[in-house]
Structure 1
Amino acid sequence: MRRYAKPIVVADDLALLHGPTSGTVTLPRHLDWSGSADYTLDSPGRIVDLYRTVLIEATKPADLHAFLDRVTLTRLWPSLWLPPDLRRAWEERFPESLRTGSRTTAA
């Protein structure tokens, strides 16, 4: 039996990430169908949840551009729990910007 593998979406350039950095963000249903898609970016726990959700659930680079911020992503990167394949894809694309060898956690 073949297992469904979700495609990994990586930004073409970190400079394209200009998402919000404060206030409350409501993710569209295709990114967060949990029923609690509102994220208060001033709350450290919720911003981490938002970044993790967007990175894992993005279906196209535009999702990343709309909801992630380059400076915030690089600051949060070491503490984000991400599937190993996703983390590896981002670190291979941006080895100078994202700390290679940062904490990797299994899915």
Structure 2
Amino acid sequence: MDFASPMESRRTQLAARLPDALDDLTGPVAGEVELPLHLAWSGLRRFDLGRPRLRMGMYRIVITEGMQEDLVRFLNAQVLVELWPVLRTLVGPAVRQVWEASFPDLAVAAARSSAA
């Protein structure tokens, strides 16, 4: 029998949650967002997107915990690309690899940032 490694299984699960295209992420770019309990079950649930640390924290939670409908509802493609060079350091390697493999714009943003 051929079993997938735990890391490969995690990547498969992560990839299944992603939208078809980065442009499908049409979430808010400003204002306050309150995450549902299934995403933010302990601690802060309300995030002011005008505050960079809170915006980054919300994106980290949604990327690591959210299902496809959460990603589309709460994330915005343009904001994600802007945040990605730092955000990619706050998520695990499986998350980073799956997102960058699925959405080359994120890998480009990271490379551009490291070259600067």
TM norm. shorter chain > 0.5? yes
The one of 97, 100, 106 equivalent to 1:98 is 106
Aligned to 2:84: 77
Distance 2:29 2:79 in 1: 8
The total of aligned residue pairs comes to: 98
Distance 1:34 1:86 in 2: 21
Structure with the bigger percentage of helix: 2
1:45 aligns with 2:45: no
Distance 2:35 2:57 in 1: 11
Structure 1 counterpart of 2:93, which letter? P
Q: Which runs of 5 or more structure 2 residues have no equivalent in the other structure?
A: 1-5, 112-116
What is the percent sequence identity of the aligned residues?
37
Most deviating of 38-47 and 27-36: 27-36
Question: Between Structure 1 and Structure 2, whose CA radius of gyration is higher?
Answer: 2
Distance 2:33 2:81 in 1: 19
Structure 1 residue ranges, 4+ long, deviating more than 3 angstroms after superposition: 100-103
Instruction: Give the TM-score normalised by structure 2.
Output: 0.77
